[in-house]
């Protein structure tokens, strides 16, 4: 039997908020706790308190833009979920130095998979990835993990941590805090699970070719041999000076296996190149996107989950901070949450980037549903 406990607090003081969450989770048999702290809290203090109060559980945490829980989307909060089941097997791996040389930690990841005797053919193992979102390194981390399975894709979802530009520790495992790192929690289970990615955009433009780009710096220099910002502005019908006002409503979509994967622009550079929050490969095909009704998309997502997992016990969610900004502007955040949580309360975080499988993307919702 899968036990699921959730806790939430928006108390302003770190210790008070953490203890309020801990008291909602008090259960001696918890195997793992995932917790998320908004950046207004003392993350080191919260991390240590979770570990001290649950010494027999794996405690994995992240600094995020906000929480997702039965209270909906919250900005300044600590949220946590505790899971326990007799057949749950867990390995937690810290991948360090992700900005420069994460590949040297590949053997750590491989060792954790070996301990669990991971066999992707058995469809009984998934990963939950927390990664420092301030290092432009999500793709590097994913390549390290996925390199261990060269033929099949290891199923994982994840979210990028961030501390509003403070560049201090944003990740935690068993009371120790890390920066410039990623934490992969690998879970082997007999319970059914389902991973899903929700996209709330469709193409506005015809396919465009990225004729010059730098994936290391996540910059697009040219689209169809024209300076990127100039071409982008022309496609939308605005001036370059106005362009940044349309980043959120018209991000880039990368086509892969007949699906669109979002990469959000965030900066126009003096040379009219555009910096994005996710890599776009030179000579690849992209689209300028336009938004769908997020409530209608959420209703469809809930139906898909219900068809895959009958009466899910838990749904872990990573939703981009750009979605949260959009929902606040449109005043539909609670309607979106209500639609998504039709079969089960969502738990998770508002993040600075999302991961699923081998992809890092933006302005997206990634979900993991677990059944009985």
Give SS3 for 16.
Answer: helix
Q: How far apart are CA 77 and CA 61, in angstroms?
A: 13
Residue 350: name the closest of 70, 139, 162, 156 by CA: 162
Domain boundaries, the chain: 3-198+296-370, 201-291
CA 307-304-133 angle, to 5 degrees, is 130
Q: How confident is the model at residue 257 (pLDDT cuts 50, 70, 90)?
A: confident
Give the list of residues 6+ apart from residue 211 with CB closer than 8 angstroms, or none.
222, 223, 224, 225, 282, 283
Predicted confidence (pLDDT) at residue 116 exceeds the cutoff of 90: yes
Q: Among the listed ranges 21-25, 74-78, 160-164, 191-195, which one has the minimum average pLDDT value?
A: 160-164
pLDDT over 90 percentage in the chain: 93
Cβ contact 15:81 at 8 Å: no
Mean pLDDT of the chain: 96
Q: How confident is the model at residue 289 (pLDDT cuts 50, 70, 90)?
A: very high
Q: What is the DSSP letter of 334?
A: H
Strand (E) or helix (H) holding 295: helix 294-308
Q: How confident is the model at residue 168 (pLDDT cuts 50, 70, 90)?
A: confident
Cβ contact 288:207 at 8 Å: no
Q: How confident is the model at residue 165 (pLDDT cuts 50, 70, 90)?
A: low
Give SS3 for 213.
Answer: strand
Each residue's pLDDT tens digit, 32-61:
999 999 999 999 999 999 999 999 999 999
């Amino acid at each position: 039997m899968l036990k699921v406990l959730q806790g939430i607090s928006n108390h302003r003081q770190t210790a008070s908020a953490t203890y309020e969450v801990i008291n909602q989770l008090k259960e001696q048999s918890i195997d793992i706790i995932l917790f998320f702290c908004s950046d207004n809290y003392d993350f080191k203090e919260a991390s240590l308190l979770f570990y001290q109060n649950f010494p027999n559980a794996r405690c994995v945490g992240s600094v995020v833009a906000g929480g997702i829980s039965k209270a909906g989307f919250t900005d300044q909060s600590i949220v946590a979920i505790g899971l326990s089941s007799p057949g749950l097997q867990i390995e937690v791996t810290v991948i360090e130095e992700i900005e420069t040389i994460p590949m040297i930690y590949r053997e750590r990841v491989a060792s954790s998979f070996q301990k669990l005797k991971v066999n992707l053919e058995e469809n009984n193992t998934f990963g939950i990835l927390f990664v420092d979102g301030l290092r432009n390194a999500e793709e590097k981390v994913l390549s390290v993990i996925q390199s261990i399975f060269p033929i099949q894709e290891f199923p994982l979802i994840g979210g990028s941590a961030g501390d509003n530009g403070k560049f201090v520790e944003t990740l935690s495992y068993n009371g120790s805090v890390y920066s410039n790192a990623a934490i992969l929690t690998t879970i082997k289970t007999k319970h059914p699970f389902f991973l899903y990615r929700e996209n709330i955009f469709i193409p506005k433009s015809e396919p465009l070719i990225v004729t010059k780009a730098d994936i290391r710096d996540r910059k697009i220099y040219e689209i169809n041999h024209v300076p990127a910002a100039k071409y982008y502005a022309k496609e939308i019908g605005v001036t370059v000076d106005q362009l940044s006002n349309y980043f959120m409503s018209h991000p880039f979509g990368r086509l892969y296996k007949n699906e669109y994967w979002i990469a959000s622009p965030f900066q126009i550079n003096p040379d009219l190149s555009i910096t994005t929050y996710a890599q776009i490969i030179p000579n690849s095909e992209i689209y300028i996107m336009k938004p769908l009704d997020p409530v209608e998309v959420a209703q469809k997502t809930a139906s898909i989950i219900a068809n895959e997992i009958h009466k899910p016990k838990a749904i872990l969610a990573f939703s981009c901070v750009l979605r949260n900004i959009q929902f606040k502007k449109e005043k539909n955040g609670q309607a979106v949450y209500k639609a998504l949580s039709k079969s089960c309360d969502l738990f998770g975080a508002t993040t600075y980037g999302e991961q699923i499988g081998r992809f890092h993307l933006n302005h997206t919702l990634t979900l993991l549903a677990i059944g009985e």
